[in-house]
């Protein structure tokens, strides 16, 4: 990695924070999508 200068720790923390935030958001969106789809499938199956 290139030299990030004296305040490297803040830069790394910033990118780490954003990375976890975005990863969490993507994870939650996918999880919610799958859970709702599964519930919908089970309800559709039960209705027929």
Partner 1 sequence: MSIDTTPKQSWWNRIAHPGQFVAWTTPLLWPLTILTAVLFVVGLWFAFFNSPEDYQMGDTVRIMYVHVPNAWLSQFVYGVMAVSALGTLVWRHPMADVSMKAAAPLGALFTALALFTGALWGRPTWGTFWEWDGRMTSTLVLLFIYLGIVALWRAFDDQLRAARVIAVFTLIGAVNIPIIKFSVDWWSTLHQPASVFRADGPTMPGSILTPLFVMFFAFTFLFITLQLKAMHTEVRRRRVMTLQRKAAQGSTA
The residue count for binding partner 1 (CB under 8 A) is 31
The DSSP secondary structure of the chain, one letter per residue, reads -----TTHHHHHHHHHHHHHHHHHHHHHHHHHHHHHHHHHHHHHHHH-
Within positions 26 to 45, which residues make up the interface with partner 1, using CB under 8 A? Answer: 26, 29-30, 32-33, 36-37, 39-40, 43-44
Distance separating alpha carbons of residues 4 and 41, to the nearest angstrom: 50
Binding residues vs partner 1 (CB under 8 A): 1-2, 4-8, 10-11, 13-15, 17-18, 21-22, 24-26, 29-30, 32-33, 36-37, 39-40, 43-44, 46-47
């Amino acid at each position: 990695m290139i030299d990030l200068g004296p305040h490297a720790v803040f830069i790394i923390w910033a990118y780490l924070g954003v990375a976890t935030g975005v990863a969490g958001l993507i994870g939650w969106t996918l999880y919610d999508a799958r859970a709702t789809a599964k519930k919908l499938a089970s309800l559709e199956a039960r209705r027929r």
